[in-house]
Amino acid sequence: MNELVVRAEKALDQDLCDHCLGRLFALVDTGLSNDERGRSLRMAVNLSRSLENQEPLLPHVRCSVCDEMFDMLPRFAAAVVEKLGTIEFETFLVGTRVDPIIMEREERLWGMVSQDKAETIKAEFNREIGKAVQALIPQEVEFATPDVVALVDTRFCHVELDISPLFVYGRYRKFSREIPQTRWPCNRCRGKGCSKCGGKGKMYQTSVQEFIGDPLQREAVGVDHFFHGMGREDIDARMLGNGRPFVLEVREPRKRRVDLLALQAEINEVGRERVEVEGLRFSSREEVRQIKNASPDKEYRVWVRLESKVNKEQLNEVVQSFKRIRITQQTPTRVSHRRADLAREREIKDLVLEELDGQVATLRVRTEAGTYVKELVHGDSGRTVPSLAGKLGIACVVEALDVIEIADQT
Ligand SMILES: [Zn+2]
Ligand SMILES: [Zn+2]
* Tens digits of pLDDT across the chain (410 residues): 588 899 999 999 999 999 999 999 998 877 889 999 999 999 999 999 999 999 989 999 999 999 999 999 999 999 999 999 999 999 999 999 999 999 999 999 998 887 788 999 999 999 999 999 999 999 999 999 999 999 999 998 899 999 999 999 999 999 999 999 999 888 889 888 999 888 888 888 899 999 999 999 999 999 999 999 999 999 999 999 999 999 999 999 999 999 999 999 999 999 999 999 999 999 999 999 999 999 999 999 999 999 999 999 999 999 999 999 999 999 998 888 888 889 999 999 999 999 999 999 999 999 999 999 999 999 999 999 999 999 999 999 999 999 999 999 75
CA of 104 to the centre of ligand 1 (A): 13
Q: Among candidates 373, 388, 327, which has minimal Cα distance to 231? A: 373
Q: How many residues does the chain have?
A: 410
353, burial (CB in 10 Å: exposed 0-12, middle 13-18, buried 19+)? middle
Looking at the CA of 61, which ligand is closest?
Answer: 1
Q: Measured between alpha carbons, how far is 372 from 300 in angstroms, rounded to an integer?
A: 11
CA of 70 to the centre of ligand 1 (A): 7
Q: Measured between alpha carbons, how far is 307 from 395 in angstroms, rounded to an integer?
A: 5
CA of 81 to the centre of ligand 1 (A): 24
Q: Are 94 and 126 in contact (CB under 8 A)?
A: yes
CA of 256 to the centre of ligand 2 (A): 34
Q: Measured between alpha carbons, how far is 28 from 31 in angstroms, rounded to an integer?
A: 9
Looking at the CA of 21, which ligand is closest?
Answer: 1
Q: What is the dihedral of CA 197, 200, 203, 206, to 10 degrees?
A: -150
CA of 300 to the centre of ligand 1 (A): 69
CA of 53 to the centre of ligand 1 (A): 28
Q: Which residues contact 128 (CB under 8 A, 6 or more apart)?
A: 70, 73
Looking at the CA of 201, which ligand is closest?
Answer: 2
Looking at the CA of 203, which ligand is closest?
Answer: 2
Burial 60-73 (b: 16+ CB within 10 A, else e): eeebebbeebbebb
Element containing residue 148 per DSSP (H, E): strand 148-153
Q: What is the dihedral of CA 43, 44, 48, 49, to 10 degrees?
A: -40
Distances (CA, A) of 8 to 26, 31, 45, 289: 12, 18, 7, 50
Instruction: Kindly list the catalytic residues.
Output: 234
Instruction: Count the Cβ atoms, other than its own, within 10 Å of residue 372.
Output: 21
For the entire predicted model, the pTM comes to: 0.88
CA of 213 to the centre of ligand 2 (A): 22
Mark the residues whose beta carbon lies below 5 A from ion ligand 2: 186, 188-189, 194, 196-197
